[in-house]
Amino acid sequence: MKKTYKIDVDCANCAAKMEDAAKNTAGVADASVNFMTLKMKVEFEDNADVDAVMADVLKNCKKVESDCEIFL
Amino acid sequence: MNSKQKKNLIRILVTTLLLVLLHFLPVHGVLRFVLYMIPYLIIGYDILIKAGKGLVNRQPFDECLLMSIATIGAIALAIYRSGDYVEAIAVMLFYQVGEWFQSYAVGKSRKNIADLMDIAPDYANLQTEDGSLEEVDPDDVAIGSIIVVKPGEKIPIDGVVVEGQSALNTSALTGESLPLDVFEGSEVISGSINLSGLLKIQTTKEFGESTVSRVLELIEDASSRKSKSENFITKFARVYTPIVVYSAIALMLLPPLVLLLLGRDPHWGDWIYRSLTFLIISCPCALVISIPLSFFAGLGAASRHGVLVKGSNYMETLSQTRTIVFDKTGTLTRGTFRVTAVHPEEISEEELLHIASHVERFSNHPIGVSLRSAYPNEQDDCRVEDVKEILGQGISARVNGKTVHVGNSKLMETVGAKWRPCHHVGTTIHIAIEGTYAGHVVISDTLKPHSKQAIAELKRHGVRKTIMLTGDTKPVAESVGRELGIDEVRSELLPQNKVEEVEKLLAERTNPKDCLAFVGDGINDAPVLSRSDIGIAMGAMGSDAAIEAADVVLMDDDPWKLIVAIQISKKCLRIVKENIYFAIGIKLLVLLLGAFGIANMWAAIFSDVGVCVLAVLNAIRCMHMNFHLPQKEENT
pLDDT tens digit sequence for B228-242: 888 888 888 888 888
pLDDT at res. B630: 67
Distance of CA A39 to the CA centre of its chain: 9
User: How many Cα atoms within 13 Å fall on the side-chain side of residue A50?
Assistant: 10
Which residues are within 8 A (CB) of B628 and not within 5 positions of it... i.e. 6 or more apart? Answer: none
Which stretch of B128-142, B412-426, B568-582, B615-629 has the lowest confidence by average pLDDT?
B615-629
pLDDT tens digit sequence for A41-68: 888 988 888 889 999 999 999 888 878 8
**For the residues B229-257, what does the mean pLDDT come to?**
87
B174 touches B561 (CB < 8 A): no
Mutate to test the interface with A, among B238, B288, B296, B612 (most CBs of A within 10 A): B288
Q: Indicate the residue among B446, B479, B512 that finishes a domain.
A: B446
**For the residues B517-534, what does the mean pLDDT come to?**
82
pLDDT tens digit sequence for B186-220: 888 888 888 888 999 999 988 888 887 877 777 77
Packing angle, helices A50-64 and A12-23, rounded to 10: 140
Do residue B243 and residue B256 come from a single domain?
yes
**Chain B positions in Cβ-Cβ contact with residue A10 (cut-off 8 Å):** 99, 103
pLDDT band, residue B393 (cuts 50/70/90): confident
Q: How many CB atoms lie within 10 A of CB B347?
A: 14
Residue B592 vs residue B423, higher pLDDT: B592
**Chain A positions in Cβ-Cβ contact with residue B57 (cut-off 8 Å):** 63-64, 66
Q: Is the ipTM of this complex over 0.85?
A: no
Do residue B81 and residue B133 come from a single domain?
no
Do residue B104 and residue B3 come from a single domain?
yes
Q: Is there a domain that residue B583 lies in? A: no
In the set B62, B158, B327, B557, the catalytic residue is B327
Nearest 5°: the CA angle B360, B361, B364 is 70
Residue of B363, B432, B423, B437 lying closest to B402 (CA atoms): B432
Q: Is there a domain that residue B597 lies in? A: no
In percent, how much of chain B has pLDDT > 70? 94
Chain A residue whose CA is closest to B284: A13
Q: Is there a domain that residue B4 lies in? A: yes
Work out the mean pLDDT of chain B and round it to a whole number.
84
**Chain B positions in Cβ-Cβ contact with residue A32 (cut-off 8 Å):** 224
Q: Is there a domain that residue B466 lies in? A: yes
The DSSP letter of residue B597 is T
pLDDT tens digit sequence for B13-57: 999 999 899 888 888 778 888 888 999 999 989 889 888 888 888
| Residues of A at the B interface, defined by Cβ within 8 angstroms | 10-13, 16, 32, 34-39, 41, 63-64, 66-67
| B240: CATH | 3.40.50.1000
Is it the case that residue B629 has pLDDT exceeding 70?
no
Chain A residue whose CA is closest to B295: A36
**Chain B positions in Cβ-Cβ contact with residue A12 (cut-off 8 Å):** 285, 288-289, 292-293
**Chain B positions in Cβ-Cβ contact with residue A58 (cut-off 8 Å):** none
Q: Letter for the amino acid at B522? A: G
| Domain that residue B379 falls in | 335-446
In percent, how much of chain B has pLDDT > 90? 14
**Chain A positions in Cβ-Cβ contact with residue B230 (cut-off 8 Å):** none
Is it the case that residue B467 has pLDDT exceeding 90?
yes
pLDDT tens digit sequence for B45-63: 988 988 888 888 877 777 7
**For the residues B522-537, what does the mean pLDDT come to?**
82
**Residue B383 touches partner A, C-beta closer than 8 Å:** no
Q: Indicate the residue among B392, B414, B446 that finishes a domain.
A: B446
pLDDT tens digit sequence for B121-179: 788 888 888 878 888 888 888 888 899 998 888 888 989 999 888 888 887 777 676 78
Select from A36, A38, A63 the Cβ nearest to the Cβ of B293: A36
Pairing between β-strand B146-149 and β-strand B488-490 as defined by DSSP bridges:
unpaired
Q: Is there a domain that residue B325 lies in? A: yes
Mutate to test the interface with B, among A4, A6, A37 (most CBs of B within 10 A): A37
Do residue B70 and residue B21 come from a single domain?
yes
Do residue B185 and residue B237 come from a single domain?
no
Residues 212-251 in B contacting A (C-alpha not used; CB under 8 Å) = 220, 223-224, 234, 237
Q: Is there a domain that residue B585 lies in? A: no
Q: Is there a domain that residue B133 lies in? A: yes
**What domains, with CATH codes, occur in chain A?**
2-71 (3.30.70.100)
Is it the case that residue B116 has pLDDT exceeding 80?
no
| Burial of B521 per CB tally in 10 Å (0-12, 13-18, 19+) | buried
pLDDT at res. B634: 41
CA distance A56 to chain B (A): 15
Is it the case that residue A17 has pLDDT exceeding 60?
yes
In percent, how much of chain A has pLDDT > 90? 19
Residue B485 vs residue B288, higher pLDDT: B485
Do residue B530 and residue B635 come from a single domain?
yes
Do residue B632 and residue B495 come from a single domain?
yes
Residues 88-117 in B contacting A (C-alpha not used; CB under 8 Å) = 99, 102-103, 110, 113
Is it the case that residue B221 has pLDDT exceeding 90?
no
Q: Is B327 a catalytic residue?
A: yes
User: Would you call B292 and A11 a contact, using CB atoms and an 8 Å cutoff?
Assistant: no
Q: Where are the alpha helices (DSSP H) in B494-621?
A: 495-508, 526-531, 544-549, 560-595, 601-605, 611-620
Dihedrals phi, psi of B342, to nearest 5 degrees: -130, 120
Sign of the four-CA dihedral B291, B293, B295, B298: negative
Chain B residue whose CA is closest to A42: B224
pLDDT at res. B489: 92
pLDDT band, residue B544 (cuts 50/70/90): low
Do residue B315 and residue B217 come from a single domain?
yes
Do residue B83 and residue B105 come from a single domain?
yes
Collapse the DSSP code of B34 into the 3-class scheme (helix H, G, I; strand E, B; otherwise coil) and give the result. Answer: helix
Do residue B5 and residue B95 come from a single domain?
yes
Do residue B139 and residue B198 come from a single domain?
yes
Residue B295 vs residue B286, higher pLDDT: B295
User: Would you call B57 and A10 a contact, using CB atoms and an 8 Å cutoff?
Assistant: no
Chain A residue whose CA is closest to B52: A66
Pairing between β-strand B193-194 and β-strand B187-188 as defined by DSSP bridges:
unpaired
pTM for this entry: 0.77
CA distance A37 to chain B (A): 7
User: Would you call B237 and A35 a contact, using CB atoms and an 8 Å cutoff?
Assistant: no
**Chain A positions in Cβ-Cβ contact with residue B223 (cut-off 8 Å):** 34, 36-37
pLDDT at res. B353: 86
pLDDT at res. B633: 45
> How many structural domains is chain B composed of?
4
pLDDT band, residue B540 (cuts 50/70/90): low
| B358: CATH | 3.40.1110.10
pLDDT band, residue B569 (cuts 50/70/90): very high
Is it the case that residue B636 has pLDDT exceeding 70?
no
**Chain A positions in Cβ-Cβ contact with residue B293 (cut-off 8 Å):** 12, 36
Chain B residue whose CA is closest to A67: B50
| B181: CATH | 2.70.150.10
Mutate to test the interface with B, among A9, A10, A36 (most CBs of B within 10 A): A36
Q: How many CB atoms lie within 10 A of CB B12?
A: 18
Residue B113 vs residue B10, higher pLDDT: B10
Packing angle, helices B3-23 and B29-56, rounded to 10: 150
User: Would you call B53 and A66 a contact, using CB atoms and an 8 Å cutoff?
Assistant: yes
pLDDT at res. B635: 41
Q: Is there a domain that residue B395 lies in? A: yes
pLDDT band, residue B306 (cuts 50/70/90): confident
Select from B224, B285, B289 the Cβ nearest to the Cβ of A41: B224
Please provide the distance, in angstroms rounded to a whole number, between the alpha carbons at the two ends of chain B: 55
Q: Indicate the residue among B398, B417, B446 that finishes a domain.
A: B446
Chain A residue whose CA is closest to B46: A67
Alpha-carbon distance of B550 to A59, in angstroms, equals 39
Do residue B353 and residue B343 come from a single domain?
yes
Q: Letter for the amino acid at B496? A: Q
